Amino acid sequence: MTILKHIAQLLARASDGVYSLVAAVREMFHHDPELRRRVAFSVALIALSAKMAKADGVVTVDEVKAFHEFFHVPPGEMANVTRLYNLAKQDIAGFETYARQMASLCSGDTHECAMLEDVLDALFHVAKADGVIHEREHRFLVRIAQIFEVNEHHFAQIEARHMVPGKADPYVLLGVSPDAPFDEIRKRYRKLVAENHPDRLIARGVPEEFIVIANGRLAALNEAYERLELMLRGKNELRA
């Protein structure tokens, strides 16, 4: 059964908007943590994308295309995505309520807590699709990060991954000090690459369709590392 069909089952049981939908995720998949994470990730991304669109006031063609980079929806299942999207967009509950419900799924489980960063990353991907993250979208993303307990330093790293290549501060992106020796930078870079390998995301329940997140992270990490390597070589801080 596809994730979208699972969502269709959940929608049939959601009597109180997405609030009850999250409760249904817990109940239906308590026996299968991996499936629960996969369904929860998809529900969170669809619902919070809808709320972000409402906060911004407009949904661009580019944002729709970015959304479909994550969801390769068979024609017969598009109704399930549309129904959840509209349910979230029209629900009187604010996005903070949704975000808190999603955050409540992180009950000390390392994979489920890491999944919240994946959701935030995916929302950034959608927000930037039209070439700029608008002020309202940025405020929305900042508040989501706060509710997900992503600290300011980590948020800055996530945001840097979504800047135009070459524009982000490579030190911020890699999470290292500007005075860090290159050996430390290389060690940090390798650690981040290992942590963000597509297999790691799949292991914590991110559906395979969403590996565009991992690919984007790796591209940003590679670009930052290469820039620092060139900069430090230019300063003769690296041996040829």
pLDDT tens digits for range 222-231? 999 999 998 8
What letters, b where the CB count within 10 A reaches 16 and e where it falls short, cover 89-106?
eebeeebebbbebbbebb
What pLDDT is attached to residue 231?
A: 87
- Identify the band that residue 145 occupies on the pLDDT scale cut at 50, 70 and 90: very high
Can you list the domains of the chain with their CATH numbers?
Answer: 1-150 (no CATH), 163-240 (1.10.287)
Q: Is 135 helix (H, G, I), strand (E, B) or coil?
A: helix
What pLDDT is attached to residue 240?
A: 45
Distance CA 63, CA 127 (A): 7
pLDDT tens digits for range 184-239? 999 999 999 998 888 887 777 676 767 777 888 899 999 999 999 988 876 665 55
Specify the higher pLDDT residue, 112 or 156: 156
Specify the higher pLDDT residue, 70 or 131: 131
Mean of all residue pLDDT scores within the chain: 80
| pLDDT higher than 50, residue 69 | yes
